[in-house]
Amino acid sequence: MDAFILKKRRRRSSSSIPETGEGPLAKALDSPLQRDFPGEDSTDIKIAILLSIFPELKQENALDLLVSCDGSVEAASELLRSESSKQRLPCSKRRATTVPSLGAQTSLSSHVVHKAKDGSITPFSASPTRRKMLHTKKGQTLHLYSPDDIAAYTPCTIIHNFLPPEQANALLIELLAESRHFSRYEFQLFNRTVKSPHTGSLYVSTPEEHRQHTAEYRHGGTYQSNIRQATPELRSVSRKVQSAVNEAIQNRIRNFYPNGQKLRYQSPKEWHPNAAFVNCYDGPAENVGYHSDDLTYLGPHPVIGSLSLGVEREFRVRRSMPRDVEEDDDDSNHTQPVAQGPEVSSVKSLSQSQKPSVARADAQGQISIHLPHNSLLVMHAEMQEEWKHSIAPAQTISPHPIAGNRRINVTYRWYRDTLHPRDTPRCRCGEHAILRCAHRKQETRGRYMWMCHAGSTPGKESCSFFQWAEFDDDGNPVWAHKQQQEKNAITLANFNSSQ
């Protein structure tokens, strides 16, 4: 289970579980997967039986296997026998890493199987219990490394060593020089003005878009002064990001979405980046707190291509828990600012009563995806509405030969022509309303709404404006059709086509 390491472990005092010390069995018995395992008392006996039959099997892999076989030693042995016989075949196309006895970076999903009531064994990825087994517990972090596991358990695709090394280094050097111009985003969190615990800047395609972003677009409720024009490396890399992201979207649709169809409100058009947030995390303490990205200009179910350069850091994700499970309040009275976009801060300094969303995050546990230099993470269409993400402060980091202690991140984004601030609704205080997805109440969950964002703007108070947002199935706002008929639609320039 090397691909899947549990960092914080529960201490067990139960007398039914023998004292196992700090070894792999102790880790295995503390696994969150344990709770789905029937007949907990006999776990160690079953592991011992499996180990006596298959001496090369690692203890922690034995537990994985038992869990996936619903606790049946028989099914687990059967699977191991068939795996080892496949391995002995000289022409076997199977990679050795699919056998659980082998070591580092094994994909969990590649060897975990599901046993149906009729005794048939299917791959875990096709089993109905797949995601159920991955619920993390309070305060726990599951670490995923392999691209297969990341695709199976999170709405993300990771591509390691994405660019040719020289191109990754050239972009890193260019953006490290740019980072001298970066600034901290300011925003209102509850009753305080907070600065983001990292720096950044927004890059756009053309001088005209630079003007519009400074004077018309609002980010986190304010006009943004720190907008820059895309640099040569940023543009040339965007071509590769564009094709990799489009390929990843098609794979995701084919392999993960119901009936192999795109999600409702997801755009069927080719994804093309026309803006990018570039973030700099200077040292292990710099971070970004849990948030989902602002949908206002990206529209429903946006896809984001996120390139990491320099120091490796942990990208943590967790599902946004439906709030009606815990509390019953009304979307239309939404006054609690939910952190959005790169303007988010760590909320550690707030008192317990002030941080309900943090409490929910803890209750659910989280998954950590490690982002090494030159890795591209695609956040798919379900990510912003159903999950939250963060860059955790690190205890230690390994300095990068070019970047030192710094990590540079580029999130390539597709700002929608149809959601230009000229066309989006205004709230009663005359501000641009922001787009959010409802998730608190079951009856309205998944619907979009336009809301006043002034409550998150330093020095402003919200007018509580609220209006349901209407989109067609491809994520076009209702006004887009009218504009097209009148031929006065706005077109934003792709990074690639505007140089």
Distance of alpha carbon 127 from alpha carbon 105, whole angstroms = 22
Indicate the residue among 37 and 277 with the shorter CB distance to Fe ion.
277
Token digits of residue 13: 């005092």
Q: Which of Fe ion, ligand AKG, none binds 140 (CB below 5-8 Å, type-dependent)?
A: none
Q: Determine if 306 is a binding residue for ligand AKG (CB under 6 A).
A: yes
Beta strands 227-229 and 199-204: pairing type? parallel
Q: Which of 114, 316, 389, 420 binds ligand AKG (CB under 6 A)?
A: 389
Contacts of 171 (CB under 8 A, 6+ apart): 163, 233, 234, 237, 307, 309, 410
Indicate the residue among 76 and 156 with the shorter CB distance to Fe ion.
156
Q: How many residues bind ligand AKG (CB under 6 A)?
A: 12
| 3-class secondary structure, 298 | coil
Distance of alpha carbon 102 from alpha carbon 146, whole angstroms = 15
Q: Determine if 331 is a binding residue for Fe ion (CB under 5 A).
A: no
Q: Residue 295 Cβ, how far from ligand AKG at the closest point, in Å?
A: 12
Site track for ligand AKG across 266-305, x = CB under 6 A: -----------x-x--------x----x------------
Q: Where are the alpha helices (DSSP H) in 179-231?
A: 207-215
Q: Which of Fe ion, ligand AKG, none binds 169 (CB below 5-8 Å, type-dependent)?
A: none
Q: Which of 54, 315, 450, 471 binds ligand AKG (CB under 6 A)?
A: 315
Q: Which of Fe ion, ligand AKG, none binds 409 (CB below 5-8 Å, type-dependent)?
A: ligand AKG
Distance of alpha carbon 120 from alpha carbon 241, whole angstroms = 41
Could you please report the per-residue DSSP string of 70-96? TT-HHHHHHHHHHHHHHHHSTT--S-G
Q: Residue 489 Cβ, how far from ligand AKG at the closest point, in Å?
A: 27
Residue with the CB atom nearest Fe ion in the bound state: 293
Q: Residue 392 Cβ, how far from Fe ion at the closest point, in Å?
A: 13
Q: Which range, of 6-14, 146-154, 286-294, 325-333, touches Fe ion by CB under 5 A? A: 286-294
Residue with the CB atom nearest ligand AKG in the bound state: 409
Q: Residue 293 Cβ, how far from Fe ion at the closest point, in Å?
A: 4
Task: Please compute, for residue 122, the number of CA atoms within 13 A of its CA located in the half-sphere on the CB side.
Answer: 9
Burial of 191 per CB tally in 10 Å (0-12, 13-18, 19+)? exposed
Q: Residue 341 Cβ, how far from ligand AKG at the closest point, in Å?
A: 5
Which amino acid, 325?
A: V
Contacts of 66 (CB under 8 A, 6+ apart): 37, 43, 46, 47, 50, 72, 73, 76
Indicate the residue among 54 and 387 with the shorter CB distance to ligand AKG.
387
Q: Which of 44, 178, 282, 293 binds Fe ion (CB under 5 A)?
A: 293
Q: Which residue has the tokens 């630079």?
A: 210
Site residues, ligand AKG (CB under 6 A) = 277, 279, 288, 293, 306, 315, 341-342, 389, 391, 409, 411
Positions that interact with Fe ion (CB under 5 A): 293
